[in-house]
Amino acid sequence: MIDLLDIKDPKFLKQMNHDELVELSKEIRTFIIDKVSKTGGHLSSNLGTVELTIALHKTFDSPNDKIIFDVGHQSYTHKILTGRAKYFDQLRQFEGLSGYIKREESVHDVWEAGHSSTAIAALAGFEKARQFTGEKNYNIAVVGDGSLNSGLSFEALNYLGHQNEMRPIIILNDNEMSISKNVGTLSKILNSLRSSKTYVKARRRSVKFPKFLIDLKNRIGFMLRGFAKNMTIFDELGFTYYGPINGHDLKQLEKYFELAKKVNRPTVLHVITKKGKGYLPAESDLDGLWHGVGPFDIETGKPLQKLPENVSSWSNIISSYLIKYAKDHPEFQVVVPAMINGSGLNKFQELYPNQIIDVGICESFAVCFSGALVMNKQTVFVPIYSSFLQRAYDQISHDIARQDIHVVFGIDRSGLVGDDGETHQGIYDIAYLKHIPNMEIVQPKDAEEAYSLLDYAFYVSKHPIAIRYSRNKIEYNSVLLESVEKIDKPTWKEVIPNGEVNLITYGDNVDRMKLLIQSKALNVTLINARFIKPIDTAMLDKILNEGHPIVVLEDSTKISSLGSSILEYMATSSKMQCKVEILGLPDEFIQQGKISELYLKYNLDDESVAQILSKYLVK
């Protein structure tokens, strides 16, 4: 058996027999479990696609044939087969192996994505380009069943289905959690018939028939499948559909992949896989807890890091407020796009199942849908990851803000997110929201302020409002949440007064900077800019009139940040006499790594900030 660390490319698979491939599947599963248990990563999705990926690389000829992975977090086996097993100790680590498809890593990585539902649209582009160039290669998209909820997927399917001069191959990886499989004896017979050599030869010959006979044959075929209740949306859209196919049977997978190469028209292969296959805790997980994991003990399945009782994720703190609010507001609804577990809403769903609506991976729909709910006397909270919310930009601007509809958005994973890397860093939401009229943006420094700002959002604000919160875990005292500050208008707070330099920041950085200033005895005024939009112009006027230097610290892109809002206000108010320095992230996509490592790289760590503050202090 080949050593996984010695693999350079997938060509060796062509020489392997079935038994050797089965043994390879087992070895890869063991390898993935071992490595992810140490580094963290996406486990269930990768365990479920081992045989599928092996069969793909055995049947097709990558990189000549283009394999496009939707999202890319199910690509660990692909990375192993393309020569990257030796880098897995640095999976998702700073300057290490990406947890997603990464074109600069390998010629076998042809399309990058951290958001779902882009693969079929990309497939259409690859296939159209193949037509233009006259290349003979195959283009294949591997798409999860959840991705088909997206409008982008449907748009691409609608385009491709009737492009009979093209031959795109879509592999629908169905883990039985989103799409019901076709069952029944006749279904199996028909699929067996459609995959037989006789049928394929007859079909290939039939293209020489007159068009009216081909159309008649297709209508009869659809009619037979309709009587068998085996019609699929793919048939309706014009694809040749085969399935369901056992996604863990290498012989069956190879058989259908070879068949798809001969069909010579748009084809969908419906493959059934088991998410988490080969690791019992992941196999039995119905809530997505093993989708993305931190380091864990393989024997027990328990995380290696256990949080103290008074430490919680921001998502869970926000959820605890929503539970309290829902108790007294039966008209309240949480609208979530396929992230109930990720957004910490499992307990909310358990307590208020009729007050939470999961719309699937459809951020644009979630936003527009929520606006209509609010217009019809519902109160709505929409939690969406920062990097996912940008997919609904048009709906936020055109449908919500333009009509000034009071939707409350939770921007989860705002700021740097660490090991998920550039596709998930939540560093752009301030930039893409703050220029939209009527939009309010806030970010709390701790759990108590989160409750205060949520009270403001639901009881005071009349406009669309977004509350940002990071991926971090924070300490909190549940007793303090019972009686919190009342905020009745947009205000900043002076945390440390009377300094020679004004440090303005928000969110998690407020308490971090408070500790820094106190530990180094810096003569610095610390301002908590909890309202990012609108800014507190009264306090800003006070700061500007004092004339001390201003340092703005934020873990978002410096372009169109809070710092730029302050500079814009200074320009319009003719108060440009203060020195201003903005500390934030540069105009580039930020790679994966621990947040502390990224802070150090971009001079946002404690020592770097202290040095910058010190240069403005009177010697």
Give the pLDDT confidence of 359-400 residue by residue, as tens digits.
Answer: 988 999 999 999 999 999 999 999 999 999 999 999 999 999
CA distance 112 to 98: 11
R_g of the chain computed on alpha carbons: 27
On whether the CB atoms of residues 372 and 397 are closer than 8 A, the answer is: no
Considering the candidates 391, 471, 514, 533, report the single residue annotated as catalytic.
Answer: 391
Q: What is the share, in percent, of the chain residues with pLDDT greater than 90? A: 76
CA distance 552 to 545: 17
CA 285 from chain center: how many Å? 20
pLDDT digits (tens, 9 = 90+) for 490-509: 999 999 999 999 999 999 99
CA distance 179 to 347: 25
Q: How many CB atoms lie within 10 A of CB 62?
A: 23
Q: Which of 193, 260, 263 is nearest to 221 (CA)?
A: 193
Q: What is the pTM of this model?
A: 0.87
- 448 an active-site residue? no
CA distance 274 to 486: 49
Structural tokens at position 481:
């949440």
CA distance 91 to 47: 16
pLDDT digits (tens, 9 = 90+) for 2-21: 899 999 999 999 999 999 99
Structural tokens at position 277:
């296959």
Q: Which residues contact 134 (CB under 8 A, 6 or more apart)?
A: none
Structural domain spans, the chain:
4-182+232-280, 311-482, 493-614
Over the chain, what is the mean pLDDT? 89
Architecture of domain 4-182+232-280: 3-Layer(aba) Sandwich (3.40)
Average pLDDT of span 442-454: 97
CA-CA-CA-CA torsion for 315, 317, 322, 325, nearest 10 degrees?
-170
CATH topology match: 311-482 vs 493-614: yes
311-482 CATH: 3.40.50.970
| DSSP secondary structure string for all residues of 427-468 | -SHHHHHTTSTT-EEE--SSHHHHHHHHHIIIII--S-EEEE
- 219 an active-site residue? no
Average pLDDT of span 55-74: 95
- 176 an active-site residue? no
Considering the candidates 66, 225, 275, 512, report the single residue annotated as catalytic.
Answer: 275
55-59, 227-231, 271-275, 433-437: range with lowest mean pLDDT: 227-231
Buried b (16+ CB within 10 A) or exposed e, 220-257: eeeeebeeeebbbebbebbbbbbbbbebbbbebbbbbb
CA distance 444 to 469: 7
Give phi and psi for 362, each to the nearest 5. Answer: -145, 70
Q: Which of 436, 498, 473, 186 is nearest to 344 (CA)?
A: 473
Q: What angle do CA 159, 160, 164 make, to 5 degrees?
A: 120
Average pLDDT of span 88-96: 94
Considering the candidates 127, 254, 363, 448, report the single residue annotated as catalytic.
Answer: 363
Q: Is pLDDT above 50 for 56?
A: yes
pLDDT digits (tens, 9 = 90+) for 174-218: 886 543 333 333 334 334 434 444 334 433 443 444 544 444 444
Instruction: Give, in words, the CATH class of 493-614.
Output: alpha beta
CA distance 138 to 129: 12
pLDDT digits (tens, 9 = 90+) for 461-495: 999 999 999 999 999 998 999 899 999 999 999 99
Q: Is pLDDT above 50 for 77?
A: yes
